[in-house]
Structure 1
Amino acid sequence: MPAAIPTTQTVARVYELGGGVQFEDDYPVPTPANNEVLAKVLYTGVCQSDLHTKAGTAAGADGNPITNIKLPHIGGHEGVGRVIALGPGCASDIHVGDLVGIRFASRICRRCEFCLAGKEQHCIRGTNHLHHEDGSFQEYIALDADYLTVLPQDIDPAIIGPVLCAGVTAYKAVLNCGLRAGEWLVVVGAGGGLGHLAVQYGLAVGAQVLAVDSGSEKEKFVKELGVHAFIDFAQTKDLIQDVHDITSGGAHAVVVTAGSPKAFKSAADMLRVGGILSCVGIPPGKAFIEVPVCTIVIKGLRITGNLVGSLKECLEAVELVRRGVVKPKVSVRPFKDLPAVYEELERGDIAGRIVLKVSQDVD
Structure 2
Amino acid sequence: MSDTLPLTMKAAICPAPGAPLEMREVAVPTPGPGQVLVKLETCGVCHSDLHLREGQEDLPPSFYPLILGHEGIGRVVAHGPNVGRAPAIGTRIGLPWIFDTCLACKPCRTGHEVLCPENTARGVQKHGAFAEYALCSADFAIEIPEAIDPLKGAPLLCAGLTAWSALRKARIEAGSNVLILGAGGLGQYAILIAKARGARVMVIDRDPAKLKTARGLGAEVTIEAGDDAGAQIKEAGGADVVLNFAPSPAVWDTVEAAVNPMADIVAIAMVHEPVPLSMMWLLDGGHRVFGSSVGSRQELADFLGFAAAHPLPVDVEAISFGEVDAALDRLKSGEVTGRLCIDFAK
Whether these two folds match at TM > 0.5 is yes
Name 2:14's counterpart in structure 1: 14
For residue 118 of structure 2, give the secondary structure of its aligned residue in structure 1.
coil
Task: Please tell me the residue identity of whatever aligns with 1:40.
Answer: K
State the alpha-carbon separation in 2 of the partners of residues 72 and 209 from structure 1: 42
| Per-residue Cα deviation, 1:155-179 (whole angstroms, up to 9, x for no partner) | 2111111111111111111122211
Q: Alpha-carbon deviation of 1:229?
A: 1.4
Name 1:154's counterpart in structure 2: 147
* Residue 26 of structure 2 corresponds to residue 4 of structure 1: no
For residue 236 of structure 2, give the secondary structure of its aligned residue in structure 1.
helix
Name 1:228's counterpart in structure 2: 220
Q: Alpha-carbon deviation of 1:8?
A: 0.8
Name 1:61's counterpart in structure 2: none
For structure 1, list consecutive stretches of 5 or more residues without a partner in the other structure. 59-64
Name 2:159's counterpart in structure 1: 166
| Per-residue Cα deviation, 1:220-241 (whole angstroms, up to 9, x for no partner) | 211111111111115xx62122
| Per-residue Cα deviation, 1:281-313 (whole angstroms, up to 9, x for no partner) | 113xx3112132221111111101001111001
* Residue 43 of structure 2 corresponds to residue 44 of structure 1: yes
Contact 1:189 1:256 in 2 (8 A): yes
Name 2:318's counterpart in structure 1: 332
Calculate percent identity across the aligned residue pairs: 29
> Structure 1 residues 357, 186: closer, same or farther in 2, change over 3 A?
same
Task: Please tell me the residue identity of whatever aligns with 1:56.
Answer: G
State the alpha-carbon separation in 2 of the partners of residues 339 and 94 from structure 1: 32
| Per-residue Cα deviation, 1:304-348 (whole angstroms, up to 9, x for no partner) | 100111100112222221112533321111111111111111122
State the alpha-carbon separation in 1 of the partners of residues 77 and 229 from structure 2: 52
Which stretch shifts more, 164-173 or 143-152? 143-152
**Among candidates 214, 236, 239, match of residue 206 of structure 2:** 214
* Residue 78 of structure 2 corresponds to residue 85 of structure 1: yes
For residue 244 of structure 1, give the secondary structure of its aligned residue in structure 2.
helix
Q: Alpha-carbon deviation of 1:68?
A: 7.3
Name 2:192's counterpart in structure 1: 200
**TM-score after normalising by structure 1:** 0.91
How do 1:335-346 residues align onto structure 2 when only pairs under 5 Å count?
335-346=321-332
Contact 1:254 1:267 in 2 (8 A): yes
How do 1:177-192 residues align onto structure 2 when only pairs under 5 Å count?
177-190=170-183, 192=184
For residue 56 of structure 1, give the secondary structure of its aligned residue in structure 2.
coil
**TM-score after normalising by structure 2:** 0.95
Supply the RMSD in Å over aligned alpha carbons: 1.7
| Per-residue Cα deviation, 1:160-212 (whole angstroms, up to 9, x for no partner) | 1111111111111112221100110010102x011101111111111000111
Q: Alpha-carbon deviation of 1:92?
A: 5.0
* Residue 233 of structure 2 corresponds to residue 240 of structure 1: no
* Residue 303 of structure 2 corresponds to residue 317 of structure 1: yes
State the alpha-carbon separation in 2 of the partners of residues 56 and 93 from structure 1: 35
> Structure 1 residues 8, 93: closer, same or farther in 2, change over 3 A?
closer
For residue 185 of structure 1, give the secondary structure of its aligned residue in structure 2.
strand
> Structure 1 residues 271, 325: closer, same or farther in 2, change over 3 A?
farther
State the alpha-carbon separation in 2 of the partners of residues 259 and 178 from structure 1: 23
State the alpha-carbon separation in 1 of the partners of residues 190 and 286 from structure 2: 24
For structure 2, list consecutive stretches of 5 or more residues without a partner in the other structure. none
| Per-residue Cα deviation, 1:43-73 (whole angstroms, up to 9, x for no partner) | 1111111111121112xxxxxx343762110
Q: Runs in 1 of length 4+ with deviation above 6 angstroms?
A: none
State the alpha-carbon separation in 2 of the partners of residues 291 and 270 from structure 1: 14
State the alpha-carbon separation in 1 of the partners of residues 59 and 256 from structure 2: 27
